[in-house]
Amino acid sequence: MVLTKFRVIKPEIRVLGVDDGVFTPHVKGLVHVVGVIFRGGYWLDGVMHTKVEVDGFDATDKMASMIINSPHYKQLRVVMLDGITFAGFNVVNIEELNAETRLPVIAVTREKPNFKEIRKALSNLTGSEERWKTIRNAGKMFEVFTRSKKEKVYMHISGILEKDARKILQLTSTRSSIPEALRVAHLIASGISKT
């Protein structure tokens, strides 16, 4: 793990929000994954994309490659993911993503996952134990109030102190309970996906 300690978190910190597009569950194919670069929670600076397999094992590598090969890479300070599962159960290893990109990773979800249900769903897939191990290795899940005492999300972190991750989520959640980079990544990924 590469731990980043922030002395100061600037209001215009460059963050990358990553989300996947619409797909048909359990049907082989590729799913659009979009990364959106924001300065803080206000200014869109760029967009990047890749594709990952439905229920595959390539999300971590594809995202790392997308990030490292982006012209925006040197300006990025934090990677934010919409959860740790993409394209069904293509699970991102957030520790590996942190190590490969040398950037802190914050995986954000609006609702607390039901791990019992997730484990049950995984039993229908090949490599279910490997996927489950990656999910469990994401570590402790933290509850974070972003814009008010009523608006909260949950996060897993790698390569960043909890207090810094909390501050960054609060700073970048300007229009909803989730960071603006994730909100816009979701809009773009959904818009370019086939339904």
pLDDT interval class at 147 (50, 70, 90):
confident
33 token code pair: 């994954």
Lowest-confidence pick of 3-7, 43-47, 75-79, 182-186 = 3-7
Least confident span in 65-74, 102-111, 145-154: 145-154
Res 194: pLDDT:
58
User: How much is the pLDDT for 148?
Assistant: 85
What is the model's pLDDT at position 49? Answer: 97
Average pLDDT for 170-192: 96
Mean pLDDT of all residues in the chain?
95
In CATH terms, the superfamily for domain 14-192 is: archaeoglobus fulgidus dsm 4304 superfamily (3.30.2170.10)
Sheet holding 43-53, edge to edge: 43-53, 30-39, 14-20, 78-82, 105-109, 151-158, 142-148
Res. 54: pLDDT tops 70: yes
pLDDT of residue 193: 72
pTM of the model: 0.96
CA distance linking residue 118 with residue 18, whole number of Å = 21
Q: What is the mean pLDDT of residues 90-113?
A: 97
Is the pLDDT at 94 greater than 60? The verdict is yes
β-strand 43-53 against 90-91: which pairing, if any?
Answer: unpaired
Q: Could you give the CA distance from residue 10 to residue 30 in angstroms, rounded to a whole number?
A: 36
Mean pLDDT of 107-127: 94
Question: How far is Cα 20 from Cα 32, in angstroms, rounded to an integer?
Answer: 6
pLDDT of residue 85: 97
